[in-house]
Amino acid sequence: MRGAVRERVVLAPYMHLRIGGPADWFLEPYAEEDVALAVRACRERDVPLRVLGGGSNVVIADEGVRGALLHLPSLNRIQRDGNRITAGAGVTLPSLLRAAKEAGLAGLEKLTGIPAMVGGAVAMNAGTRDGETFEHLVSLTLVDRDGNVVVHGRDRFRACYRDGGLDDAIVVQATFELTPDDRQAIAARFSASLKQRNASQPVSMRSVGCVFRNPAGDAAGRLIEAAGCKNLRIGGIEVSPVHANYFVNDGCGSAAEFVALMGEVRARVRKTFGVELAPEVKFWGF
């Protein structure tokens, strides 16, 4: 496999939360065919395989994770064809949004401020209150569970709230259909979305994004705050004073403390409102 293969790599520096123990194997394939080779090698050897994107929406155990982790920053090409933009899985969403703006193509501004790579954003159908990743998606290049590179249209998948419906397939490239618009108008919407996000969420602090899914017809952040959990702290992990559905790490927190704080918040919301909050964040190694 072309690319880096390393053992016992500590994952905390790759995570927005800055928490996480080592992975047994850390793989950074060079190109799509190398991703496919890595998948086949892990399958043949019965080695568990996960894909690490931008490091948000995941909490990694203090003891780390067994098996192999794929990290895809080398898949970072962006190409334009008319009103379509194709981006590799390792392209960051801010880079994709800037490229679309410079091309005078609108539609992706609704994803402003999401700290993700394209692959991860597609896999979890990342979004904001204004829209989701799948809205402008037209096709995906994937590596399936058998290590084959395949291309499918958007209609092949049943994306839903924070789930692209890809099963075990790995995104290596995504193509979006956008709408021509004035660059200044796109930039203005981009700036307005970023300003709103910065004012309402602790984007500059160590977090995983939203911790809990929004219950039907309500907001997890509202319930958590109303249950008296804002500023609640266990060790180095605190419920954000800016947005109660974000837990932030002061630099000394652990995964165990994060999980304990989740349990306390869920218990208080359950007692106050009779609502059982469901996690939006994923857990590896627990």
pTM score? 0.89
pLDDT at position 85 over 90 = yes
Sequence-distant (6+) residues with CB within 8 A of 31 are 2, 74, 75
pLDDT at position 234 over 90 = yes
Query: Does domain 3-71 fall into CATH 3.50.50.60?
Result: no
pLDDT at position 24 over 90 = yes
pLDDT at position 282 over 90 = yes
Mean pLDDT value of segment 126-143: 93
CATH placement of domain 220-284: 3.90.78.10
Q: How much is the pLDDT for 232?
A: 97
Q: How much is the pLDDT for 28?
A: 97
Beta strands 170-177 and 137-143, pairing class: antiparallel
Beta strands 58-60 and 127-128, pairing class: unpaired
Find which of 90-94, 198-202, 205-209 is predicted with most confidence, using mean pLDDT: 90-94
CATH placement of domain 78-200: 3.30.465.10
Question: Would you kindly state where each structural domain of the chain is located, as residue ranges?
Answer: 3-71, 78-200, 220-284
